[in-house]
């Protein structure tokens, strides 16, 4: 589950540098995806359920896991933190920002908790036909990890239609650039949480990025989201 050769890891990091997002190959087998989907029927696993329409966030539902996190979620989160931390450090250096992310996820979460960000943020998202997710950023306090992950748990084209993952990058002195991506079952999409460095005439500048989901036309679309800073 979620292991990469050094060459594969570096290829992902290079793609993140160039585009602000990267699709991996499969990180979960179909059986693993089904196991995670079954957790939605166990309300005790979650600390909060959000009706997106009620909060004008789109339409659909998402649920934040409570402690203790299920083992697969905990293991995936730690593995992806290790993969993404070098990119986070590189981006911070390019933008002249602090880089408070220690070697391990446990140490980083301890930093979040000392700052009052103690609520776990890994979540399950569920969409039916007609549901969608408004463009947004997942910021839960002053401490932010600059990348996050979403993993598809259903198969586009067979389990559902529509529901493309959307990224919109606000380019300096230019029109925004949009990207729509199908998320295969068991594959992970790594993407920018808030902003990313892009080359500029003065070296590097930050360009803001928001993400969302287009309208699901039919079927059911479920995903696992991994955010690496906890919430206040």
pLDDT tens for 161-179 read 999 999 999 877 778 889 9
User: Over the stretch 70-87, which tens digit does the pLDDT of each residue have?
Assistant: 999 999 999 999 999 999
pLDDT for the residue numbered 145:
98
pTM of the predicted protein model: 0.95
Distances (CA, A) of 156 to 108, 111, 117, 153, 162: 34, 38, 35, 10, 8
pLDDT for the residue numbered 7:
87
Q: Low-confidence residues of the chain, pLDDT below 50?
A: none
């Amino acid at each position: 589950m979620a292991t990469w050769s050094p060459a594969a890891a570096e290829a992902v990091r290079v793609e993140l540098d160039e585009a602000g997002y990267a699709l991996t190959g499969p990180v979960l087998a179909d059986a693993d995806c089904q196991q995670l989907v079954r957790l939605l029927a166990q309300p005790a696993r979650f600390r909060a359920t959000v009706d997106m329409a009620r909060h004008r966030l789109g339409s659909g539902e998402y649920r934040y896991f409570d402690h203790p996190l299920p083992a697969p979620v905990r293991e995936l989160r730690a593995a992806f933190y290790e993969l993404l931390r070098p990119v986070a450090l590189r981006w911070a250096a390019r933008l002249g920002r602090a880089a408070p992310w220690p070697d391990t996820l446990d140490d980083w979460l301890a930093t979040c908790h000392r700052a009052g960000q103690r609520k776990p943020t890994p979540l399950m998202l569920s969409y039916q036909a007609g549901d969608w997710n408004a463009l947004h950023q997942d910021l839960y306090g002053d401490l932010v990890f600059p990348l996050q992950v979403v993993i598809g748990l259903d198969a586009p084209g067979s389990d559902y239609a529509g529901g493309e993952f959307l990224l919109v990058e606000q380019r300096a002195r230019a029109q925004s650039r949009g990207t729509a991506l199908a998320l295969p079952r068991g594959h992970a999409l790594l993407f920018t949480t808030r902003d990313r460095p892009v080359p500029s005439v003065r070296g590097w500048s930050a360009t803001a990025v928001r993400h969302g989901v287009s309208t699901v036309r039919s079927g059911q679309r479920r995903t696992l989201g991994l955010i690496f800073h906890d919430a206040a």
